[in-house]
Structures are given as C-alpha cells and as structure tokens.
Amino acid sequence: MKTSAGCRVAIITSRISDGKACVLANYRGKGHRDLKAAYQFLTPRTENENPFLHDAAQCSIAAPFIFRTKSLPGFGLLQDGGVRANNPLAIGLKESTVIWPLAKTHDLLLSVGTGRSSFMAKQDKASRSFWRDSAIPRMIRATMSSPSMDGEQGFHEALNLVPDDKKPNIFRLNHEVSEALPRLDDVSRLAEMSKMRFAVPDELVRAILVTAFFFFELDGQPIKKHGVYFCQGSILCSRSYAKDLVKKVMVEFPGARFQTARGHHLGDVVEDDSCHLCGYYRKEVNFSVNGLDEMTTIGIAGSSFFQRIGGFPKSVQELLEDQQANSHFGREDHLVDCWPPKRNCYCPPRTKRQVEFQEPALEHKKRRL
C-alpha cells in the first residue's frame, strides 16, 4: 500500500540453518508481534546489517539447485523463501495487522503469480508404469506440487485457512502457460514470455478502482433525531490524481453513483467533486442508521455492479473509533488531533490578485483648465 511513508515492501526468505521463514522489510516492523510466530522478522541492529534491496532479493530467489545462497551480515546464510512459504499470503495478512493495528482486516489482497501450467499434470496422467508409481518418483512429484515448490498450490492452501467472509477481498492473478514452465534460471525464454498477454479480470479492475482508492470519513458526531442517527461525512480519495480515477470509474460503472448497500442513493460520481488545481477529492454525503452499532456499507453502484469503497462494512461506532473522535487527550497514533476534521484541498489559501492599473494615455486624461 502506498502511503505518505512510501510503499512498504517485505521480502520473504528462509534461514538455511533451520529452514525458518524470515522477513526482510523496508519498514521497522515495530508493533505487537507474536513471539511464537511461524516466521521471523529480521530487524537490522546496525547500519551494516541493513541490506540493500538487491541483496534481499538475491536471498529470496536462491532456490536450491539453481542459485547460490546469500549471506547477510548479522543474519547468516539465507535462501529462497519459497522453501517455506512459496506464497506469502499468510505472512502478508499477519504483517498488515502489525503495520495497521487499527484496521481490523485487509481491504484487498492481490496475489500475483509468475505463471502456471497444467502441462506436467497432463503428461503424468498419460503415462503410468511400475517405476513411476514407486516411492521415490511419488515423493518427487508430491514435493514438486507442494506449497514449497508450487506457488499456485501454496496460495490455495493458505486460502483454506482464511475465514469465508474475508475471501471475497482476496484476488489471485496468474498467467496460464500452455507449455511446461521454464526453469527459474532460463533467461532465454524471457523475451518470448514478455510478449504474452496478461489479462486482468474486470472484477479486479473494479475492486482496485473503488475499494483501493476511495474511503469514507465522518465530518462530525452523528445526530439522533426521531429514533435514527443522521450521519454527515465525506467520501475521499487516497490518490492525488482523483480526476483520472473518477473518469475510469465512470467508464467501468455506467451510471456510477455512490449508494449504501441498502440502496440509499448518495449522489452521482462526477468529476466536479475533485479540485481542478490540486486534484483533492471530496464528495459530501448524508445517510442515516438505526443504531450506532448497525453495520453499513457505502459503495459505488452502476447499472449492474456494486463495489464497496475501502473500509466497509463498518458500523458508525467503528468509524468514530477509527477517527478517534473521542480522543480528548491526543490520538494514539499521533496523527493531527482535529475533530471535527477540517476538509481543505491542498491549494494554498487564495490571495487577492494583484492588479496593476496602467495610467491611461495622456490624451485620454481629462484636462483641467
């Protein structure tokens, strides 16, 4: 995720001494960590122990039989993280809870594969023999299709452990290759493979456009009237190029409008909600809920799709807690303590235009006698 702190990158590798999965990251990884976790977060203690990205990447790709192991100061010999976690879905989910402890769950998780092929499976089914069915070939085939060797299999096995209600937020993008996959070190296939079309499903495009880029914040305390709570807030965009995103939303969702999951219309998606100068996006919306604990969802609806914006489903009480509306003595995360929040775009305050008056030419001046 891109934030003002930059993009957080974590690289999975494994220690050759005990095979334990390890994480090298460009963030410090402070926060609540389970000491019994199945992986170890490697924290550099000195500048010398802080590896460059290419060193960390070299550790991560050091697959047995193909690339040599890599030694990092302070951490010893490291090898391919895939030996223990070829698909880092479980580690990614765990790390996100350490980085963003207030977020109860991830908004979107996208797992990108490096290609998959059913070529070997077809070959295996086609030929059976006494030798092929004996113990060693069976073990080799089982290892080759295990999560440590097959990232696709690793993804599906990790997905089995994710609660059902979180699965719709997880996407897998992989490329089907008709032939056998090349060896990891076969650079001669790179040019040919780079020409393959990598199709991104429309469903994923819509999810990224809406769930990854738009979110909601309350603009004040909900007001109780006639037994319901009236809420006023803003739909905001996490990117400065909101206008381009809004245009894309309008293409992907013909007739795009913001609405609640219950069908309450909150206003059309229009370019004019974005500042023409700095791109700041704000759509003011109002809705009501029967109780502060009632779960609600805001999304973008088109003629045939509904896609929730980031953070939902959520109750108004949870929104108030997320925004730390009641932190009278300062916010836990040290963000600017401002409630109700100010909603300004990034343009500098307007100054009076300095107009230069030119003296009219002499002949137009009234002459006084």
Residues near Zn ion (CB under 5 A):
275, 277-278, 280, 345, 347
Q: How far is 118 from 230, CA to CA, in rounded Å?
A: 55
Min CB(369)–Zn ion separation in Å: 54
Nearer to Zn ion, 242 or 301 (CB): 242
Q: How far is 88 from 148, CA to CA, in rounded Å?
A: 11
Nearer to Zn ion, 119 or 346 (CB): 346
Nearer to Zn ion, 84 or 282 (CB): 282
Nearer to Zn ion, 276 or 331 (CB): 276
Min CB(345)–Zn ion separation in Å: 3
List, as one string, the DSSP characters of 298-310.
EEEE-SS-EEEPB
Min CB(232)–Zn ion separation in Å: 22
Min CB(362)–Zn ion separation in Å: 44
Min CB(275)–Zn ion separation in Å: 3
The identity of residue 271, as a single letter, is: E
Min CB(263)–Zn ion separation in Å: 33
Nearer to Zn ion, 203 or 271 (CB): 271
Min CB(244)–Zn ion separation in Å: 15
Q: How far is 291 from 230, CA to CA, in rounded Å?
A: 10
The answer to whether 212 touches 108, Cβ cutoff 8 Å, is yes
**What angle, 0 to 180 degrees and rounded to 10, lies between the N-to-C axes of helices 89-99 and 151-159?**
60
Nearer to Zn ion, 275 or 320 (CB): 275
Burial class (CB in 10 A: 0-12, 13-18, 19+), 113: middle
DSSP secondary structure code for residue 274 in this structure: B
Nearer to Zn ion, 250 or 275 (CB): 275
Burial class (CB in 10 A: 0-12, 13-18, 19+), 325: middle
Nearer to Zn ion, 197 or 352 (CB): 352
The answer to whether 53 touches 13, Cβ cutoff 8 Å, is no
3-state secondary structure 179-220: CCCCCCCCHHHHHHHHCCCCCCCHHHHHHHHHHHCEEEEECC
Measured on CA atoms in the order 341, 224, 295, 235, is the torsion positive or negative? negative
Q: How far is 337 from 351, CA to CA, in rounded Å?
A: 27
Nearer to Zn ion, 20 or 343 (CB): 343
Strand partners, 232: 286
The answer to whether 214 touches 252, Cβ cutoff 8 Å, is no
Min CB(344)–Zn ion separation in Å: 8
Min CB(285)–Zn ion separation in Å: 20
